Amino acid sequence: MKLRQHTIAWGLSLALGIAGSGMAVAQEMGPGTMPGMMGASGMGMMPMLDPEQRREMREMMQTQRPAQFERMARLMNLRDDLLAEMHGERPDPEAVQALHGQMAELHGEMLTEMVRLRHAMHDLLTEEQRQQLQQATPERGVDPDDHDAHH
């Protein structure tokens, strides 16, 4: 059941094209996080939304975007710092671990906010729209508890 809910939320975010605030995150977060969001409107989700739902979803994305961009900028700075440390003659293991930990924490914050946004968007749908989305979203066959499967 959790996989089905995850798939629905994933499909919703894809269909609504939150790529504008997420593609750079996807590049930083790696495979399986948010790939393929560009062009996802071709999935046919947008026509089933009424104008008010589209407006509310657009507002949600626009509200979230500044904080996500700020996190992405911090993440890029940490990545630069990590690369600089790693390219030194003798990288300091503690410094590498600290920088990596900070990056992981930011990744977690970004992912958490994306999940919150997906839930909020899903909550705007009517039951009929949720059913249509569920029918239009194929099962991916990935166990969400299998960390290696999405790497």
Give 10-residue mean pLDDT values along the chain (151 residues): 48 41 39 33 61 94 95 97 96 97 96 95 92 78 60 53
Which two tokens mark 38? 């560009």
pLDDT of residue 123: 94
Chain position carrying tokens 């600290």:
98
pLDDT at 39: 31
The pLDDT of residue 79:
97
Give pLDDT, residue 45. 58
Task: Name every residue whose Cβ is closer than 8 Å to that of residue 118 and which is 6 or more positions away in sequence.
Answer: 9, 10, 12, 13
pLDDT at 10: 45
**End-to-end Cα distance, the chain:** 22
What is the pLDDT at residue 139? 65
- Sequence-distant (≥ 6) Cβ neighbours of residue 68 within 8 angstroms: 21, 22, 25, 110, 113, 114
Residue 40: per-residue pLDDT? 36
Question: Which residue, 128, 116, 115, 117, is CA-closest to 50?
Answer: 128
Cα–Cα distance measured from residue 80 to residue 50, given in angstroms and rounded to the nearest whole number:
43
